[in-house]
Amino acid sequence: MRAQEVLAALKEALGDGFRDGEIRTRTVGVKSPQTIEEVWGRIDRGVLLPAVRALKDLGPLHISIISGADVGEEIELLYHFAVGFGTEGGEVMVTLKLTIPKSDPVVPSLCEVLPGAETTEREKIEFLGVRFEGIPDSRHLFLPEDMEVHPWRKDEPELAGLVKRKVKWEERDG
């Protein structure tokens, strides 16, 4: 499978719901460097599941991880996939960028289409406060269940107090 095929399939399946689609190239490896192509694009939460279904229709699909960041008034999620996972023709890496407002941090869960997404979705629940509609299990994996702050959020007042206390504690120990 080629990156151009994946890019074309996303454009066809999502129309205007897929923006800024591009193929990026990078070199990997030291002894035997290889150039790989990756597909990048921006989507809205309303087309997330159709995007994943379109990728799955192209061949075996693996979700590597969902990375995320607090970018001010919004949370940015980057969905990293391998299309054609484990096939002889090779994989095409795909990254779909999705931005949601902090005032409404809800996206559909991918678990219905890719059950393996559950762990990375649960991590984003804990650390960024994202809610995944339809996730089968939203219990905490890494933080105490009763912890109500989200450590990767920049606007957590309770977290700011923890950071100040930690700095004072470290200064005390010199």
Query: 87-141, pLDDT tens digit by residue?
Result: 877 899 999 999 999 999 999 999 999 999 999 999 999 999 999 999 999 998 8
Q: What are the DSSP calls for 70-112, one per residue? A: E-SSEEEEEEEEEETTT-TT--EEEEEEEEEETTS-EEE-STT
Domain 3-173 has CATH 3.30.460.80: yes
Tens digit of each residue's pLDDT (9 = 90 or more) over 27-64? 989 999 988 899 999 999 999 999 999 999 999 999 99
Q: What is the pTM of this model?
A: 0.87
Q: What are the C-alpha distances in Å from 61 to residues 51, 54, 138?
A: 12, 10, 23
